A and B are shown apart, each in its own frame.
Chain A
Amino acid sequence: SQQGEEDPQALSIQEGENATMNCSYKTSINNLQWYRQNSGRGLVHLILIRSNEREKHSGRLRVTLDTSKKSSSLLITASRAADTASYFCATDPMDSNYQLIWGAGTKLIIKP
């Protein structure tokens, strides 16, 4: 079942701008992860944020987690053409059974 829902489904911005995408989920979680997928290839792990954390940074990425609203956001600052990809959130629900629950993804296009 799909727990995470990304918003927006697609996003097109100019190079250098910031990109923000959101993920909502339904049940209590242990952690939430963001992954990137370039053009039908395998996914690459970006960042993991645990349920007791509110914000995490990695390079140009900033992830926030609001467990009261059951939502997370991924901010990419100073976007580059190479950031063009699909971004997925995945949650580890507290009642899960050895699987991550994935959203349908946000397709990000960076225009030069």
Chain B
Amino acid sequence: KAGVTQTPRYLIKTRGQQVTLSCSPISGHRSVSWYQQTPGQGLQFLFEYFSETQRNKGNFPGRFSGRQFSNSRSEMNVSTLELGDSALYLCASSLVKGQETQYFGPGTRLLVL
């Protein structure tokens, strides 16, 4: 099976712009979780989706949003970018629940200038 794919892999934006990141889970996986990782930090949970429904959201401002499509593909959007949004954004898929073994994509590295 193909692994989790994320696009784009690298992105440079300027403050105030918005960005959309995409994640395609492993075929058959219905849960998609998103994380933000900054240098030297662990993973900060953004949100988890299952069957097009957001089941949980982390402690991030409303500028961070996401959605999941009927084919389980997911997107996350960050509006009004700030310098502090520069990070590695990771997507992970699992079969049903976000607490099961998660399979990660390679991440999208976002740099905000």
B99 contacts A31, C-beta separation under 8 Å: yes
Contact B48 A45 (CB under 8 A): no
Q: A36 to chain B: closest CB distance in Å?
A: 10
Q: Is the CB of A42 within 8 A of B56?
A: no
B11 at the interface (CB under 8 A from A): no
Is residue B41 contacting chain A, with contact meaning CB distance below 8 A?
Answer: yes
Interface status of A81 (Cβ within 8 A of chain B): no
**B21 at the binding interface (Cβ < 8 Å):** no
With the chains together, A104 CA to B59 CA distance in Å? 17
The answer to whether B99 and A96 touch across the interface, beta carbons within 8 angstroms, is: yes
How many B residues, CB 8 Å from partner?
29
CB distance from B70 to the nearest CB of A (A): 19
Q: Is A60's beta carbon under 8 Å from chain B?
A: no
Select one of B31, B41, B88, B101 contacting A98, CB under 8 A.
Answer: B31
Nearest chain A CB to B45 CB, angstrom units: 5
Closest chain A CB from B37 CB (angstroms): 8
A99 lies within 8 A of B107 (CB): no
Minimum C-beta distance from B72 to chain A (A): 15
Using C-beta atoms within 8 Å of the partner chain, give the interface range for chain A: 20 to 34
Residue A102 is within 8 A (CB to CB) of chain B in the complex: yes
- Does the CB pair B102–A45 fall under 8 Å? yes
Once A31-B99, A41-B107, A92-B99 are accepted as A-B contacts, the answer to whether A97 and B56 lie under 8 Å apart by CB is: yes
Q: Are B42 and A88 in contact (CB under 8 A)?
A: yes
Give bound CA distance, A96 to B100, whole Å.
12
Mark B residues whose CB is within 8 Å of A: 4, 31, 33, 35, 40-43, 45, 48, 50, 55-56, 58-59, 88, 90, 92, 97-99, 101-107, 109
Residues of A within 8 A of B (CB): 1-2, 30-31, 33, 35, 40-45, 48, 88, 90, 92, 96-105
List 6 interface pairs A-B (beta carbons < 8 Å), by A numbering.
Answer: A35-B104, A40-B107, A40-B109, A41-B106, A42-B104, A43-B90
